[in-house]
Structure 1
Amino acid sequence: MTGLSGSTAPLQDIFDCALLDLDGVVYVGADAVEHAPAAIQVARAGGMRTVFVTNNAARTAQTVADHLTDLGVPTGPEEVTTAAMAAAALISAEADEHTRVLVIGGTGLRQAITDEGLHLVESATQSPTVVVQGFTPEIAWHDLAEAAYAIAAGAQHVASNLDASLPTERGFAPGNGALVAAVVAATGKQPRSTGKPGPEIFHQAARASGAQRPLVVGDRLDTDLAGARAAQIPGLHVCTGVDGPTQVLRAVVAHRPAFLGLDLRALAQVHPEPTRAEGWWTCAGAAARIKGEAVVLRRDGGDVRLGEQTNEMDVDEVRAAAAAAWEASDAAGVDSVLPVDLPHVRMVDQG
């Protein structure tokens, strides 16, 4: 399916395990996302298992678990799958007795490589056969230079992920993808990436949990939700992190979620499926259609144009508008019929 799905029961009753992104979904930096700890507690109490799947390769699974526990989400390291673990698993699967790994990254990446029993080296002068690169705030120029020297000498380049940015308490900062791009610019060689949006990190997390009916939950369309589609696992998009309603309305086919919610409380909610009738897409009490390059909402006071008369929508309006925008885009054979400068849309709580 390329459109939104519906559910007649809460998602936590339909799916047996939530594969949850962290940054922007459960926490932002040191702080929990509003409602997230309570929503996870409710889902777990209802029988849903949780595995936390993150492109952050800087921290160990234990460190991530401790942070979640401190935020009111009791978690063990076995419930965490990181991009560092996925990268280490890939390198290990291809390794032989000559494999030597140069780690450009933090403790989490070094620990994951060590846990796989791989031979670590500290410099390009030690002839590494693989350079594995993951984010840590401590990366400096000389680290990127060592990576470039080794790759120029013939080492493979593996990136834990290619996220260009990451959310912090102050806004969005350069992510691993931005640092990888510096190495690519110096070497002219593209790396392989093992994190999202690749499917294997989700398959690895699902296997670890024994999930039969997993659900991916994320805040970023081009990693979390694109990865869910690549893994052929339904995805729930929540608007608490990188991508909000504006980006959802303009989502390309490969990035579209199966379900949409404001925050993690969406796990405990029934999701009405948008339907089309007489030129309008409706969802529960909301209705929307596309007129030219504009989103038109049907409200009690009459038709309202998004960006001109309102920049606020509730979740059912976003669902209806997304269905309308995606249909129009697909019919026109373009990524999106909506303009690139579509005004910022804020999703409001329905209470």
Structure 2
Amino acid sequence: MTEAVFFGGHDAVLCDLDGVVYAGTEAIDGAVPTLRELGRRGVPVVYVTNNASRSPESVADHLLGFGLEVTGDQVFGSAAAGVALLNQELSRTATDPSADGASSGVRPVPARVLVVGSDYLCGLVSGAGHEVVTTAAERPDAVIQGFDPSVSWTDLAQASYAVNGGARWIATNTDLTIPRAEGISPGNGALIEAVSRATGTRPLAAGKPEPVLFRLAAQAVGARNPLVVGDRLDTDILGGNRAGFDTALVLTGVDTEANAAAAPADHQPTWTIPSLRMLLADSTVEARSREAQEEPQP
């Protein structure tokens, strides 16, 4: 366990990126100085992102452009988690003839995989030993879908044809929106909805709010009491809560204080804070805790 502690005794930050550190090409006010100061104090900071379009090294370079010294091993993304889930599902199908999609015969891994997403995601799938295909006519065993700005109607149509044909469907993440400098834009979840409506089914999802990314990130820095920080209740906060960690919703991205107050219990953050700057404050004095919000009023 790390010895440096902050913000009520936590020993690491598991930090989201979009809507927390930056919005599009612009750093969010105060985020970079706060993260630098946490580093100066010896608090480990790792980044847990549902962005499946870029490699950890590319994300680290992006953060370096904002003045943050980050390496690829500090970045945990949903693309790698998605490929791990893909491998798990294909292996399960290969060993279980009763699994969905196996009625025409068991196909062992490696398999044919239709990738809807970035070149980086294609590379991960290929690196796992699978054959990457681009059309349903190539009879893929599985579809993996991750965000990329270049995803087209044709890509979504091919995914729909493949899923309707029995291919297993994996999503790297299901974020409906992405904060950009210009405003809120459609995310991978919005594109997944198009395929879902065309197929009448839902994918297995690998990224947040599943707890595995948070637990892997905490283990990587030896943290026992990390704080999960994010701007989305349905991914960052729900996922951190599922992992058993304290959570902080920052109001610089998608969700608002009103959203948090109205959210179901498993979506509610331990703290709601205006921005990352509050992580340098005394949480018992300046931050609003869940317990304080829920205290009965006289």
Smaller-chain TM-score range?
Answer: 0.7 to 0.9
1:53 & 1:26 partners in 2: Cα distance? 12
Q: Give the match's secondary structure for 2:178.
A: strand
Larger radius of gyration: 1
Distance 1:151 1:97 in 2: 18
Letter in 2 for 1:10: F
For 1:200, the aligned partner's letter is V
Structure 1 residue 154, shift from structure 2 partner: 0.7
Give me the CA root mean square deviation: 2.0
- Report the alpha carbon displacement of residue 210 of structure 1 after superposing the two structures with TM: 3.4
User: Aligned equivalents of 1:132 and 1:210: distance in 2?
Assistant: 31
Aligned to 2:174: 162
The match for 1:67 is 62
Compute the displacement of 1:268 (Å). 1.7
1:30 matched to 2:42? The reply is: no
Note the C-alpha offset of 1:98.
4.6
What does 1:303-314 align with in structure 2 at a 5 Å threshold?
A: none
Deviation at 1:113, TM superposition (A): 2.2
Separation in 2, partners of 1:179, 1:256:
26
Unaligned runs of 5+ residues in structure 1 are 1-8, 273-283, 285-314, 329-351
CA–CA distance in structure 2, aligned partners of residues 92 and 229 of structure 1: 26
Q: Which amino acid aligns with 1:82?
A: G
**Which amino acid is 2:207 matched to?**
G
- Within the candidate set 6, 11, 23, 1:10 is matched to 6
Does structure 2 conserve the Cα–Cα contact (< 8 Å) formed by 1:92 and 1:118? no
Structure 1 position 181, deviation (Å): 0.6
The CA distance in 2 between the partners of 1:207 and 1:243, in whole Å, is: 28
DSSP 3-state at the match of 2:283: coil
Match of 1:42 in 2: 37
Higher strand share goes to which structure?
1
Opposite residue 255 of structure 2, the aligned amino acid is D
Q: Post-superposition shift, 1:196? A: 1.1
CA drift at 1:325: 5.9
DSSP-derived class of the 2:249 partner: strand
Greater shift in the superposed pair: 111-120 or 149-158: 111-120
The alpha-carbon distance between structure 1 residues 201 and 188, as it changes in their structure 2 partners (threshold 3 A), is same
- Structure (1 or 2) with the greater helix fraction: 2
Q: Distance in 1 between matches of 2:210 and 2:241?
A: 10
- The 1:197/1:327 distance shift into structure 2, 3 A limit, reads farther
Q: 1:116 to 1:267 in 2, by over 3 A?
A: farther
With over 3 angstroms needed to count, the CA separation of the structure-2 counterparts of 1:327 and 1:181, relative to structure 1, is farther
Find out whether 1:203 has 2:215 as its counterpart: yes
1:209 and 1:91, CA in 2 relative to 1: closer, same or farther beyond 3 A? farther
Query: Normalising to structure 1: TM-score of the pair?
Result: 0.73
Counterpart of 1:93 (choices 88, 95, 98) is 88
Q: Secondary structure at the match of 2:272?
A: strand
C-alpha spacing 1:47/1:245, structure 2 compared with 1 (3 Å): same
- State the match for 2:96 in structure 1: none
Q: Mark the CA change 1:175 to 1:209 in structure 2 (over 3 Å): closer, same or farther.
A: same
Whole-angstrom distance in 2 between the partners of 1:206 and 1:10: 15
Q: What is the CA-CA distance between 1:92 and the residue it aligns to?
A: 2.3
Matched letter for residue 20 of structure 1? C
Q: Which residue of 2 aligns with 1:244?
A: 256
Shift of 1:19: 1.0
1:284-303 maps to which residues of 2 (within 5 A)?
A: none
Give the 3 Å change call, closer, same or farther, for CA 108–327 of structure 1 in structure 2. farther
Maintained 8 Å contact 1:250/1:325: no
- The count of aligned residue pairs is 275
CA distance in 1, matches of 2:120, 2:276: 26
Q: Which one of 199, 217, 220 corresponds to residue 187 of structure 1?
A: 199
Question: What are structure 2's unaligned runs of at least 5 residues?
Answer: 92-107
| Percent of aligned pairs sharing the same letter | 40
2:183 paired residue among 171, 189, 198: 171
Report what 2:53 is aligned to: 58
TM-score, with structure 2 as normaliser: 0.86
Q: Judge which range, 28-37 or 195-204, deviates more.
A: 195-204
Kindly provide the amino acid, as one letter, of the partner of residue 250 in structure 2.
V
CA distance in 2, matches of 1:50, 1:248: 24
SS in 2 for 1:120: strand
* 1:222-258 Cα shifts (integer Å, max 9, x gaps): 1100111111111111111111222222222011111
